């Protein structure tokens, strides 16, 4: 096994096919197929399931992929570090919760891109649990997630504290009115992101503490979808106040704070604590501290 073998393996895993990997690597398909077969023979285990529509990773392949990605990233970072004398270059893969990406990151990302034009920023959005998994398997260098994060392999940098609020249709006059409506409605719904979202867990726990266990969930993939359906009277949600304020000012929704500071939620930037972070990520983390002073 060598770094080139791992590069070919990662390309096949990420594209889902030998031909697509060959196109990415600017080589012929037979070269890719031969290297993958040789790698499997050397490791004495199949790395892919072959099918008519492409390939998928075996369990052994799934275990190997994070290491292949890490080796490729480290080689690229070493190359850029030597050539640029510490000036960041190459890819910077980070993740963020949907709310953070939409409202908090555009400014810092634009500033960082302007300062470091040779860095190629890749941003993925998703719920906290999924993002943490992506950092742990080294698919992402870091991610903005809801804290606290108790994970020995990760280092968490405090970023900011959000004020979470319940968001309801504009006709709802207050928190008591909102809870009473949920208690009386036979088809009461909360509008949430998919499983793994920390704000979803907080909302479900808040309602369960008040005996509202009959409330059903509707899952969405975007903030706009959630806010639009709340405004249409389909249910309620829990999101940061800064996200809900534009819709409230426009009269589309009503906003209701949680009692006893239950709505305070910390956002942290997590990264793996082992190994040396890339120059690009180290610079980005420094800029985040400046953009969001504690």
Residue 222 has pLDDT above 60, yes or no: yes
- In-domain check, residue 192: yes
- In-domain check, residue 90: no
Confidence at residue 82, expressed as pLDDT on a 0 to 100 scale: 67
Q: What is the pLDDT of residues 60-76, one digit of tens each?
A: 999 999 999 888 877 87
- Check residues 248 and 187 and name the one with the higher pLDDT: 248
Q: What is the pLDDT of residues 261-283, one digit of tens each?
A: 788 999 999 999 887 788 889 99
Confidence at residue 96, expressed as pLDDT on a 0 to 100 scale: 96
Confidence at residue 88, expressed as pLDDT on a 0 to 100 scale: 82
pLDDT band at residue 81, thresholds of 50, 70 and 90?
low
Confidence at residue 93, expressed as pLDDT on a 0 to 100 scale: 92
The DSSP result for the chain, as a single string, is: --HHHHHHHHHHHHHTSHHHHHHHHTS-HHHHHHHHHHHHHHHTS--EEEETTEEEE-HHHHHHHHHHHHHHHHHHHHHHHHHHTT---EEEEEEE-HHHHHHTSHHHHHHHHHH-TTEEEEEEE--HHHHHHHHHTTSSSEEEEES----TTEEEEEEEEEEEEEEE-TT--SHHHHHHHHHH-TT-EEEE-STT-HHHHHHHHHHHHTT----EEEE-S-HHHHHHHHHTTS-BEEEEHHHHHHHHHTTS-EEEEPGGGTTEEEEEEEEESSSPPPHHHHHHHHHHHHHS--
Query: For 202-212, what is the mean pLDDT?
Result: 91
Query: For 218-233, what is the mean pLDDT?
Result: 92
Residue 59 has pLDDT above 60, yes or no: yes
Contact yes or no for 167/239 (Cβ under 8 A): yes
- In-domain check, residue 49: yes
- In-domain check, residue 53: yes
CATH of the domain at 169: 3.40.190.10
Choose the final residue of a domain: 15, 50, 77: 77
Range of the structural domain that residue 2 is part of = 1-77
pLDDT band at residue 91, thresholds of 50, 70 and 90?
confident
Rounded to whole angstroms, the Cα distance separating 72 from 65 reads 11
Name the domain count of the chain: 2
Residue 94 has pLDDT above 90, yes or no: yes
Residue 175 has pLDDT above 80, yes or no: yes
CATH of the domain at 31: 1.10.10.10
pLDDT band at residue 29, thresholds of 50, 70 and 90?
very high
Choose the final residue of a domain: 77, 103, 120: 77
- Which pairing describes strands 119-125 and 189-192: parallel, antiparallel, or unpaired? unpaired
- In-domain check, residue 271: no
pLDDT band at residue 2, thresholds of 50, 70 and 90?
confident
Choose the final residue of a domain: 48, 77, 106: 77
Residue 220 has pLDDT above 80, yes or no: yes
- In-domain check, residue 107: no
Confidence at residue 90, expressed as pLDDT on a 0 to 100 scale: 81
Mean pLDDT of the chain: 90
Q: pTM for the complete prediction?
A: 0.73
pLDDT band at residue 37, thresholds of 50, 70 and 90?
very high
- In-domain check, residue 11: yes
Query: For 123-148, what is the mean pLDDT?
Result: 92
Confidence at residue 179, expressed as pLDDT on a 0 to 100 scale: 93
Confidence at residue 73, expressed as pLDDT on a 0 to 100 scale: 77
Residue 53 has pLDDT above 90, yes or no: no
- In-domain check, residue 4: yes
Query: For 8-22, what is the mean pLDDT?
Result: 93
């Amino acid at each position: 096994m060598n770094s080139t073998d791992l590069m070919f393996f990662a390309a096949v895993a990420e594209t889902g096919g030998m031909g697509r990997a060959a196109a990415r690597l600017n080589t012929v398909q037979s070269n890719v197929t031969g290297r993958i077969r040789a790698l499997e023979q050397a490791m004495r285990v199949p790395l892919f399931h072959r099918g008519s529509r492409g390939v998928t990773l075996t369990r052994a392949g799934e275990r190997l992929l994070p290491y292949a990605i890490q080796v490729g990233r480290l080689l690229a970072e070493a190359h850029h570090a030597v050539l640029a004398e510490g000036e960041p270059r190459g890819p910077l893969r980070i993740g963020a919760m949907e709310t953070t990406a939409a409202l908090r990151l555009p400014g810092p990302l634009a500033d960082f891109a302007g300062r470091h034009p040779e860095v190629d920023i890749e941003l993925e959005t998703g719920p906290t649990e999924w993002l943490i998994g992506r950092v742990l398997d080294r698919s992402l260098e870091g991610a903005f997630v809801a804290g606290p994060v108790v994970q020995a392999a990760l280092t968490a940098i405090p970023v900011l504290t959000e004020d979470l609020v319940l968001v309801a249709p504009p006709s709802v006059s207050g928190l008591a009115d909102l809870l009473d409506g949920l208690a009386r409605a036979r088809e009461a719904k909360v509008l949430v992101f998919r499983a793994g979202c920390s704000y979803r867990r907080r909302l479900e726990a808040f309602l369960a503490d008040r005996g509202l266990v009959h409330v059903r969930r509707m899952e969405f993939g975007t903030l706009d979808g959630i806010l639009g359906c709340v405004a249409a009277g389909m249910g309620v949600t829990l999101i940061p106040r800064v996200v809900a304020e534009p819709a409230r000012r426009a009269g589309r929704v009503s906003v209701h704070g949680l009692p006893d500071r239950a709505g305070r939620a910390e956002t942290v930037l997590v990264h793996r604590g082992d190994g040396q972070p890339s120059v690009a990520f180290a610079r980005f983390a420094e800029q985040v501290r400046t953009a969001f002073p504690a």
